[in-house]
Each structure stands twice: as C-alpha cells, then as structure tokens.
C-alpha cells in the first residue's frame, strides 16, 4: 500500500546548526500519526519544511505517490496539506466566519478581476464559500460564534477556529502543531473527541503534541525526534518502552 505522505532524507541547517538530519516519515491514509520529542528536537522545523515555510536543504516529498515540492504554504495547501500553528495565527479583526472563508480561498477559482467587478460567478462562489465556512464552524462546534470577532473567542474556541479554517481547505492531511497547548483538562478531552471525529470521517492527521498522554491514547503510530534526528518509530507501546525515548525525556511523562 502506498503511503499518503512519504518523506525521505529531509535535512535542514541554520548556519552551522543541524535542525533536521535525514528524517524519514511514512503516513498511511486514515491514521493519526504523532511526532514527539523534547523541546528543540526539530518538530516544528519539520512541520515548517513539510508545509513550505522553510526550504529543505535535502529530501524528497510525495503525497499519494505524487512528488511535491513544498515551495510555499499556498501551494502545499492546494496539494492537500493543511496545518495549524503552535502559536495561534488568526485574523483578529475579522469575524470568525471570515477567518474560515480566508482558508477556503485556496479552493476558489475566480480571480481578482471577477471579485472587483462583482461578476455573477464571483458572487456565487463567495456565497458557496460562506456556506462551506459555516459548515466547518458547525462541525468543530462553534457555529453560533460565526459573527463574533476572532479575538473575542476563548482560547479553546480559537484553537477550534484554526482547525475549522484548515478543514475548509479540504485537506488530505491535517497537520496540527501542539493543538492542546494551553488547554485545561476539559478542553483537552473535547479536543480529543474532535480529533477522533475528524479521523472517523476519513481524514489523516499528523500531530505534534507535548501532552504524552493525549498522543499515546490517540495516535496509531509515533515518530520521536531528538536533536533533529529520529530516535524511535512505531506503535505507542513500542515508543513508550524504548530506552532512547525514556532517556530523551528523562523518564518524565513517557509512562503517563
């Protein structure tokens, strides 16, 4: 079976510092895949390379067996990979609905001229974009907040808004960078339910997360990075008992 996402030999340097060294990752369609490691392990750098924020110094990328070059975030989103960020990135002065509509625009067809002249096709497409955005807000459970300014939402709801915006791009792979960061215990349980729902609807998830309990309970397979290199890959049970992982985490949390 060919992987949904296949990444081989990815390396990235910043000056004389090696942030990633020969990283390989293979994710099957429909699974939840975890990427964990201590602070500074290279997890977010990997996400940034995979999604076009950084250019890799070496490596090959394929989505559903088709090579892709992560040259920009927009092109990667069009290819079928959407992501959220460790630090929430919303358009705070815009409404909740408008934030999701912005994400949807990677799937729209009418150009700037049609929008400026309010061409019929542009009006129809905008109406469709609005309907789709409302659908995803309902899906993540914040549909009633559609007309609120994004910066008035609670922290947990802002995280849900980011996920709704990513889903509006119709991704084949949804990549989440520490979605549970800053959440309380109740919000984490609600997040897990949402991620299970997304997986149940046939989407594939790649998850960076420091909450080891959440990762171990949710993910089908896990890769562990330390100093930009893979030190373990496998099932949650394999990773949990791996001596290199226990040492990298100094034993803290891995057994939780």
Q: What angle do CA 227, 230, 236 make, to 5 degrees?
A: 120
In a domain, 197, yes or no: no
Weakest mean pLDDT among 9-18, 49-58, 96-105, 169-178: 96-105
Report if residue 198 sits inside a domain.
no
Q: Which two tokens stand for residue 123?
A: 């009006």
185 lies in the same domain as 149: no
Distance (Å, whole) CA 35 – CA 19? 15
Q: Are residues 14 and 117 in the same domain?
A: no
> What is the value of pTM for the model shown?
0.88
Which has the closest alpha carbon to 86: 30, 141, 56, 45? 45
- Domain for residue 17, yes or no? yes
What are 43-88's pLDDT values in tens digits?
999 999 999 999 999 999 999 999 988 888 888 988 899 999 888 8
Same domain, 60 and 5: yes
- The domain tally of the chain equals 2
The last residue of one of the domains, among 142, 170, 198, is 170
In a domain, 57, yes or no: yes
What distance in Å separates the CA atoms of residue 36 and residue 207, rounded to the nearest whole number?
A: 8
Residues 47 and 66 placed together within one structural domain of the fold:
yes
In a domain, 14, yes or no: yes
Question: How does pLDDT run across 204-230, given as a tens digit for each residue?
Answer: 999 999 888 899 999 999 999 999 999
Q: Rounded to whole angstroms, how far apart are CA atoms 232 and 87?
A: 27
Token readout for 58 is: 């070496």
Spatial contact of 164 and 100, defined as CB atoms under 8 Å apart: yes
Q: Mapping DSSP to helix (H, G, I), strand (E, B) and coil, where does residue 86 land? A: coil
93-139 pLDDT, tens digit per residue, is: 899 999 999 888 776 665 444 444 556 676 787 888 999 999 999 99
- Domain of residue 136: give its range: 89-170
DSSP, collapsed to helix, strand or coil, labels residue 179 as coil
Is 36 contained in some domain? yes
Q: How do beta strands 17-27 and 5-14 pair?
A: antiparallel
For residue 116, the model assigns a pLDDT of 43
pLDDT at 1 > cutoff 60? no
Q: Torsion-angle region of residue 86: left (phi > 0), alpha (psi -120 to 50) or beta?
A: alpha
Residue at 13 is within a domain: yes
CATH number of the domain residue 134 falls in: 3.40.50.300
């Amino acid at each position: 079976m060919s992987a949904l996402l296949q990444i081989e030999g990815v390396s990235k340097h910043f000056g004389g510092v090696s942030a990633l060294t020969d990283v390989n990752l293979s994710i099957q369609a429909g699974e939840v895949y975890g990427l964990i490691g201590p602070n500074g392990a290279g997890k977010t750098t990997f996400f940034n390379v995979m999604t076009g924020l950084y250019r890799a110094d070496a490596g090959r990328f394929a989505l559903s067996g088709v090579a892709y070059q992560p040259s920009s975030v927009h092109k990667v989103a069009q290819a079928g990979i959407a992501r959220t960020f460790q630090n929430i990135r919303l358009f705070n002065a815009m409404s909740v609905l408008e934030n999701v509509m912005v994400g949807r625009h990677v799937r729209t067809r009418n150009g700037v001229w049609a929008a400026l002249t309010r061409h019929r096709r542009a009006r129809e497409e905008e109406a469709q974009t609005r309907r789709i955005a409302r659908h995803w807000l309902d899906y993540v459970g914040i549909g009633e907040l559609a007309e609120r300014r994004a910066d008035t939402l609670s922290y947990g709801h802002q995280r849900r808004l980011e996920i709704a915006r990513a889903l509006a791009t119709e991704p084949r792979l949804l990549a989440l960078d520490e979605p549970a960061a800053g959440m309380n215990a109740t919000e984490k349980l609600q997040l897990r339910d949402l991620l299970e729902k997304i997986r149940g609807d046939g989407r594939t998830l790649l998850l960076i997360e420091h909450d080891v309990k959440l990762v171990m309970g949710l993910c089908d397979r896990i890769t562990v990075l330390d100093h930009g290199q893979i030190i373990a890959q496998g099932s949650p049970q394999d990773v949990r008992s791996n001596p290199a992982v226990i040492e990298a985490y100094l034993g803290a949390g891995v057994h939780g």
